Chains A and B, each alone.
Chain A
Amino acid sequence: SAVISQKPSRDICQRGTSLTIQCQVDSQVTMMFWYRQQPGQSLTLIATANQGSEATYESGFVIDKFPISRPNLTFSTLTVSNMSPEDSSIYLCSAGTSWDEQFFGPGTRLTVL
C-alpha cells in the first residue's frame, strides 16, 4: 500500500482567492486522483491527474476552476480557483498502482467565507 500525505490539512479562505493543495505519495504510483466530499456525502471524482500531461476532468469540473499538476509519479497539486462558499468541502487525493485499488490521503478541509 501507498502512504499519502496532503498539505494543508485545513484552511479557511476568503471568497475570490485560490488555494493549492499538495499530495505526496511515498512511492511511485500509476494513478492519482482528486475527489471532493461534501459533509455526509460520498466521494465525487474531480479529475484524474496524469503524469506529464493534462488532467482528465469529470463532468461538471473544468480546468480553469480546478487546475491540476502532476510533474512526476509521486506528487500532484490541485488548485481551487476563485473560490466561493460552495467550494467548501473536503478535498481528497488518492493514489494506486492499478485501476482497481486506491489509497486515500488524509484530506484537506476547506472553508470559504
Chain B
Amino acid sequence: QKEVEQNSGPLSVPEGAIASLNCTYSDRGSQSFFWYRQYSGKSPELIMSIYSNGDKEDGRFTAQLNKASQYVSLLIRDSQPSDSATYLCAVSGGSYIPTFGRGTSLIVHP
C-alpha cells in the first residue's frame, strides 16, 4: 500500500521566517509530487507540483524533491499570517491516482 507521511504539526513560525514542510513516501515508482494548501473550511488548492529531483521555485514557495531519499519538501519564505493553513502532500506514479498525506498544519504568528 502506498503511503505518504507528514508530520501533523502544528508547525508554528514567526512572521517573516522560513517555514519548512516535509513529506516522505513509500512507493519508489512515484513520479509526480504535489503540494496543496487548505484553509480551514475550504477545499484544497494546488500550489506546487514537481516531477524532477532538485528545487522548483514559484514566488515565495520552493518545492524540493529527493527521489533517492523518497522525500519532498515545501519551503515558504517570508512567511505571512495568511499562509496559516494545512498543507497536503500528494504523490502519484504513472497511472496511479495521487495518494494524499494527512497534512501539516502551519501557523504563522505576527
Contact = CB atoms under 8 A, between A and B. Distances in A.
Contact of B43 (A42, A99, A105): A105
B103 A42 contact: yes
B97 interface: yes
A42 B101 CA distance: 7
B42 to A, nearest CB: 7
Query: Size range of the interface on B?
Result: 10 to 19
Given A104-B44, A106-B43, A99 B101 contact: no
Contacts of A62: none
B100 interface: yes
Q: Chain B contact residues: over half helix, strand or loop, or mixed?
A: loop
Interface in B87-108: 88, 92, 94-98, 100-103
Contacts of A103: 46
B78 interface: no
A53 interface: no
A48 B45 contact: no
B102 A33 contact: no
Contacts of A105: 43
Interface in A52-108: 92, 99-107
Contact of B96 (A1, A43, A92, A99): A99
Interface of B: 32, 34, 42-46, 49, 88, 92, 94-98, 100-103
Interface of A: 1, 33, 41-43, 45, 48, 92, 99-107
6 contacts: A42-B100, A42-B101, A43-B44, A48-B97, A99-B97, A101-B49
Given A42-B102, A43-B44, A45-B97, 8 more contacts: A33-B97, A42-B103, A99-B97, A100-B92, A101-B46, A103-B46, A104-B44, A104-B45
